[in-house]
Amino acid sequence: MLEQQWLSQLPLENISGVTPLAGGDVNQAYRIETPDCPYFLLVQEKRTADFYSGEIAGLKAFAAAKVAAPEVIANGQIDGDAYLLLSYLESGQGKQADVGRLLAKLHRTVSSNHKFGFSQPYEGSSMTFANTWTDTWRELFVDQRLDQLRDALVEKKLWGKSELDIYVRVRQAITDALDKHQSRPSLLHGDFWGGNHMFLADGSPALIDPSAFYGDREFDLGCSLVFGAYDQEFYSAYQAAYPLDEGYQQRLKFYSFYLLMIHLDKFGGMYANAVNNMMQQILTDFAR
C-alpha cells in the first residue's frame, strides 16, 4: 500500500481512499478516491517518469482518433517511483461486436508520415522495442521485432540450433508473404488481448493499457487469437466494418507467433510447444 507521504505528492486534493487493483505483470495499480471523482493510478517503482511516455503517447493518439480510452491526467516521479494518473472508467457489460467495430475505427487512423513505427519505444517487463520509423512493415515487424525476440530466446537458452533452423525458414516465409502484401501504417493497440478492453457503464467499449504503434492492422487481430478471448461476433463485426485483404487467415498466424514468442521470452518453456506448433503451421501454410 502506498504511504500517505507518497500520496500527498500527487496533484490531487482531499484523497479519501486508496484501493489496490490488478495492474498486470508490469505495474502497481490503484483506485484513488476524491470528493470529485475517482482516478486510476499506475506506479512503477524505481523508474523515471518517462517510463510511461509510450503509454501516454498511445492514449493521446487514441483520443485524437476518437476511440474511447482512459484520459491522461498527470505523469511524474515521486520518491524515485514513476506514476501515471488516469481517469477512472466505471465498468459495465457490453457486446463483443462493438469491440470489433471500435478496433476497426482505431485501425482506420494512419500515421501522418505514412511510415511504420512510433514516436516512443515500447517498454515492457522483459522486452523493449525501439519502434524506429521504417518505410515497410516487414522492416519493423521482422527486422526490429521478430529478430530481436529470436536473439533474446537464444541468449536465454530457450532456443537451440533446431529451433533456429526452423526460424530461418519461418522468417523467409513471413518475409515473402509480407513483401507481397500491401500494408498500411494503421494505429494499433499493440497488445490486444481480452484483458485490454473493457465495457463502460453505458455498455460501450473502451480500449485500455495500450502499447501503441503504427503497423499492419492484422497484427492486433493475430494477437487476439492466441488466448481465445473473442468470439465470432467480434471478428464478423470487424470484417463488416473494415474488410481484411485476401489471405489474411494465414498472415494472422505471424502475429500469433510473435505474441507466443513474447510469452516464451517472459515466462519460459511452458510456451515452447505453442511456439514450435505455430512455426510448423506457418511453414505448412506457405510451403512451396
Q: What's the CATH code of the domain at 235?
A: 3.90.1200.10
pLDDT at residue 23 in the model? 65
Residue 25: its pLDDT value, please? 65
268, burial (CB in 10 Å: exposed 0-12, middle 13-18, buried 19+): exposed
pTM tops 0.85, yes or no:
yes
The backbone region for 233, taken as left when phi is positive above 0, alpha when psi lies in -120 to 50, beta otherwise, is alpha
Q: What is the pLDDT along the chain (288 residues), one digit of tens a residue?
A: 788 999 999 999 999 999 999 866 678 999 999 999 999 999 999 999 999 999 999 999 999 999 999 999 999 999 999 999 999 999 999 999 999 999 999 999 999 999 999 999 998 777 899 999 999 999 999 999 999 999 999 999 999 999 999 999 999 999 999 999 999 999 999 999 988 999 999 999 999 999 999 999 999 999 999 999 999 999 999 999 999 999 999 999 999 999 999 999 999 999 999 999 999 999 999 975
Amino acid at 81: D
Q: Which of 79, 98, 143, 191 is catalytic?
A: 191
| Domain limits for position 256 | 96-285
Specify the number of domains making up the chain.
2
The sign of the torsion formed by the CA atoms of 60, 62, 67, 72 equals negative
Of 32, 65, 87, the last residue of a domain is 87
CA 134 – CA 155 distance, rounded (Å)? 26
Q: Is 191 a catalytic residue?
A: yes
Roughly how many angstroms between the first and final C-alpha of the chain, as a whole number? Answer: 57
In this structure, the answer to whether residues 242 and 280 fall within a common structural domain is yes
Asked if 45 and 100 sit in the same domain, the reply is: no
Q: Indicate whether 122 and 263 sit together in one domain.
A: yes
pLDDT given at position 27: 83
All cell numbers assigned to 22:
490488478
Residue 4, pLDDT score: 92
Residue 103 sits in the same domain as residue 74: no
Same domain, 53 and 145: no
**Which pLDDT value is given to residue 127?**
86
